[in-house]
Structure 1
Amino acid sequence: MLQPIEATALASSKRIRHGFFTRPGGVSEGLYAGLNCGPGSSDVPANVGENRARVSRHLGGSNSDVATLYQIHSGIAVAIDAPFAPDQRPKADGIVTRTPGLVIGVLTADCAPVLFADPEAGVVGAAHAGWRGAVGGVLEATIAEMENLGARRNCIITAIGPAINQVSYEVGPDFEAALLESCADNKIFLSRKSPNGKAHFDLPGYVETRLRKSGVAEVERQSPCTYLNESMFFSFRRSQHRSEPDYGRQISAIVVA
């Protein structure tokens, strides 16, 4: 049985269906056990397809897949009005639509997924916000694309889903330099409380701050740590620390009913 996490603000609208989907309820096995929805993984393609179909059915989608992107850690967002073939996935990290029944989503395995909705206008969006994409403006680009489809910024509800939390996100000097070069004030998102004195980055906190500064109506945080909760979430960093050959991806999806 699928066990998505829902944001209260989004769930309150009868016009919007959404979920930050977790590992339970899928057919994948081994390293990918559960609801692996990443076509870029080396999982059995039929299993990935079935997992994605289950997500679409759960949300009442009009087709058997979720429209996701070829994610490139960018500040690029696109608007779509119809499904596309897997080999036609746009290279971007934000996706929006106003087409009823068209389920859209993003894939993550530590990065922060963000779901957006203007229920009154019937416009929804999803963004894959790794630190590079967030610094590069993917959140603001997604909002702008929603506005192009008729959404109003002060009516947009946003929710941040499961992501790696600061306690697990140790970063090196190159990361720190790049983050502070983009804005010196970003130092408030770095902590040196770990015993080794290395910096840890607060990705969900950074994303939340960018969203609040954007002027949206509401920001809700549903961000348990993907690294620490193995039974519920896939984690790229956890797989790297274990020298595993690959990792699964969870999906966060939304649709206009």
Structure 2
Amino acid sequence: MGNLIDLGHGVRAAVTERKGGVSQPPFDSLNIGLGSGDSREAVMANRARAAQELGFDVDSVVWMNQVHSADVLVATEPGGVGTCDGVVTTRPDLVLASMAADCLPVLAADTEAGVLGAAHSGRLGTANGVAVNLVRTMVDQGARVDHITVFLGPAICGGCYEVPPELQAETAQHTPEAAATTRRGTPGVDMVAAVTAQLRRAGVADITADGRCTLETPELFSHRGGAPTGRFASFLWRV
């Protein structure tokens, strides 16, 4: 179903994978994304399966309507939080979710203050600093930057993420670390390097990364690897 990450003090993260669900090709099989083109019934069944496997109530999950923005909202109830690409909560019974199929999931926690945050950092979100906005919103809700731990989920790597030169320049305008060269020697974008640099400049020191490239990992959904396709979810919750 996926891997489980212990962030300490009763906070866990997990990244789902392709297998273990009911969706038919090309969304096979544990597709978590409603906007992917898959049937709603299959996606809802997959969400319930993933929650049961990971040990939380699917009705406690907070879902974002992700649009590649840098907007961050605060969730006080489960369900749809609204249109955004970052969400923060202080409620101990809520589970935060970030969906992706090449973009970078960002999971953050101040376990002492009880503030959790999740973001979806695609190329545009990375260029516009959604991860930094997530940290700022967490601080507004009582977190301390030096107490925040961040886990970066799987994403397409800089060696695979080829973009036109103008898009590379746009993404790297404020974060030079975003610029990469692909294995083909063409302009690329490294979202993990960019977001890591952004977070470090914001004062976050404790950052770990899943490290898998979605395009190179068959167990994960990849939009560039074959659209249409499903979405995997990165979850963050307290136990």
Scaled by the length of structure 1, the TM-score of the pair is 0.86
Matching of residue 202 in structure 1 with residue 190 in structure 2: yes
Task: Name the SS for the 1:234 alignment partner.
Answer: coil
Partner of 1:142: 134
Q: What are the superposed Cα offsets for residues 184-232 of structure 1, whole Å, 9 maximum, x if unpaired?
A: x61x54344644x4212212111111111111240001120100112x1
Measure the CA separation in 1 of the matches of 2:133 and 2:59.
Answer: 28
Paired letter, 1:233: L
Residue 91 of structure 2 aligns to which amino acid in structure 1?
Answer: T
1:81 alignment counterpart: 76
Q: Do the aligned residues in 2 keep the contact of 1:49 with 1:65 (CA within 8 Å)?
A: no
CA–CA distance in structure 2, aligned partners of residues 193 and 119 of structure 1: 37
For 1:190, the equivalent position in structure 2 comes to 179
Identity of aligned residues (%): 34
Whether the 8 Å contact between 2:85 and 2:119 is mirrored in structure 1 is yes
Higher helix share: 1
**Which residue is 1:161 aligned to?**
153
Structure 1: runs of 5 or more not aligned: none
Partner of 1:214: 202
Partner of 1:18: 13
Residue in 2 that maps onto 1:237: 224
Query: Which letter maps to 1:130?
Result: G
State how 1:51-70 maps to structure 2 within 5 Å.
51-64=46-59, 66-70=61-65
**d(CA) in 2 for partners of 1:216 and 1:193?**
28
Give the distance between the partners of 2:12 and 2:223, measured in 1 at CA: 27
- The unaligned stretches of length 5 or more in structure 2 are none
Q: What one-letter code is carried by the residue in structure 2 that aligns with 1:250?
A: F
Q: C-alpha root-mean-square deviation of aligned residues, in Å?
A: 1.9
TM-score (norm 2): 0.92
Instruction: Go from structure 1 to structure 2 and tell me whether the alpha carbon gap of 1:161 and 1:67 turns closer, same or farther (over 3 Å shift).
Output: same
Q: Give the 5 Å matches for 1:6-45.
A: 6=5, 11-45=6-40
Q: 1:59 to 1:145 in 2, by over 3 A?
A: farther
Amino acid at match of 1:248: G
What's 1:250 paired with?
A: 232
Asked whether the equivalents of residues 53 and 65 of structure 1 are also in contact (C-alpha less than 8 Å), the reply is no
CA distance in 1, matches of 2:221, 2:181: 26
Task: Report the secondary structure of 1:142's partner residue.
Answer: helix
Please state whether the residue corresponding to 2:8 is helix, strand or coil: coil
Q: Does the CA-based 8 Å contact 1:26-1:33 persist in structure 2?
A: yes
Q: Does structure 2 retain, via aligned residues, the 8 Å contact 1:59–1:255?
A: no
- The match for 1:121 is 113
Does the CA contact (< 8 Å) of 2:152 and 2:210 recur in 1? Answer: yes
Closer, same or farther in 2 for the Cα pair 1:233/1:147, shift >3 Å? Answer: same
Residues 127, 36 of structure 1: alpha-carbon distance in 2 compared, 3 angstrom cutoff = same
Tell me how far apart the structure 2 counterparts of residues 97 and 112 of structure 1 sit (CA, whole Å): 20
How many angstroms does 1:77 deviate by? 0.5
CA distance in 2, matches of 1:125, 1:192: 31
> What is the alpha-carbon distance in structure 1 between the residues aligned to residue 25 and residue 31 of structure 2?
11
Match of 1:3 in 2: 2
